[in-house]
Amino acid sequence: MATLAAVIASTHHPFYYKTSTMPPEERPPFAEEWITKVTAFRETLTRAAPDVLVMVGSDHFHQLWLDNMPQFLIGKAPFYDANFYNEEREFGLPRMRLKGHEELSAYLLREGLDAGFDLAFSNELRVDHSITCPIITLRPQADLPIVPIYTNIFAPPLPQPARFVQLGRTIRQLIEAWPSDLRVAVIGTGHLSLELGGPRQFGPHGPDPEFDRKAVEWIATGDIEGCLSEVTLDSLWKPGNATHGFMDFMLMMGVAGDGVKADYMDTVDLFHTMEAYFTWYPKEAGA
């Protein structure tokens, strides 16, 4: 059976690429700490020696649109072109092309459907910064095949938070039952408190530091029950109007397991959001 080599949950900050590639003398004051922490975080994936990456993210109205909006979608393609014109324009992100792992995509689609998730699929998917940011931070050589999994955290009506957790649990069960000798890392990115296009955007820190503190605690301790007891689709508006992206962290808590403490945790306070990085090594992974 395949080995779940690592489970990684992270925020995805589209300005990391620009910040880390500009000449050192032009970098903003927070850059050095940020780059140091991302470099340490990267090592947690490297030491897991993965062969394939399952990447959980959310399209930001790039390819997926309101005329045909899936709730959960798995890409199944030999390649994924990546990043869009408006991400180059606003964030300075590079165009990329990532290899796909079609066999694992097909397996997750078939088994996921049979496990009760009516998954959408795409055979021609251009992925955006929710997937390329963690490639840039965690695997900048972009040499491993991926399976992209997109969730709808963006266009109401959204699936319930518990559904994200359930999907995470199912992804883990399926990967551990995959008849393969490959090492699989699951990497998912979302947000802590975040406001975009609203009155609380681009403040000196995230819009709700108290939510961030609680969220980091839930994730780091694997407190799915505590998290689900407080987080609802309605409650997520309060910490910031883009905070539904936290549900991708909840999905990753489902992958990591109930009550399982993260083996690695770090945070960085940035000007409009808190960055947070978590890695779990399943016991049998031998990382």
Partner 1 sequence: MSRYLVNKFLFTVDRDPEWVERYREDPRGFVAWWEAEKANSLLNCHSGEASTWLAFEDEEREALATHDYVRLFELGAHPFLTLTLFIAMFERDYDEPLGFQKEYARRLAHFSLPYPDIAT
Bond prior to 157 in cis (omega within 30° of 0): yes
**135-174 positions binding partner 1, by CB under 8 A:** 154-157
Residue 283 is a binding residue for partner 1 (CB under 8 A): no
Report, in Å, the least distance between residue 143 CB and partner 1: 29
Distance CA 44, CA 279 (A): 7
Residue 90 is a binding residue for partner 1 (CB under 8 A): yes
> In terms of CB distance, is 160 or 221 closer to partner 1?
160
The residue from 55, 216, 219, 242 that contacts partner 1 (CB under 8 A) is 242
Residue 19 is a binding residue for partner 1 (CB under 8 A): no
Count of residues engaged in binding partner 1, rule: CB under 8 A = 29
Report, in Å, the least distance between residue 191 CB and partner 1: 12
Residue 203 is a binding residue for partner 1 (CB under 8 A): yes
> In terms of CB distance, is 42 or 62 closer to partner 1?
62
The residue from 27, 42, 200, 261 that contacts partner 1 (CB under 8 A) is 200
**65-84 positions binding partner 1, by CB under 8 A:** 65-68, 84
Residue 205 is a binding residue for partner 1 (CB under 8 A): no
Distance CA 108, CA 178 (A): 9
Q: Is the Cβ–Cβ distance between 272 and 201 less than 8 Å?
A: yes
Residue 237 is a binding residue for partner 1 (CB under 8 A): yes
Residue 246 is a binding residue for partner 1 (CB under 8 A): no
Residue 120, phi then psi, degrees to nearest 5: -80, 160
Binding mask 42-61 for partner 1 (x = CB under 8 A): ------------------xx
> In terms of CB distance, is 155 or 220 closer to partner 1?
155
Report, in Å, the least distance between residue 5 CB and partner 1: 34
Q: Is the Cβ–Cβ distance between 35 and 261 less than 8 Å?
A: no
Distance CA 125, CA 172 (A): 23
Task: Give me the residues that bind partner 1 (CB under 8 A), please.
Answer: 60-62, 65-68, 84-86, 89-90, 154-157, 196-203, 237-238, 241-242, 271
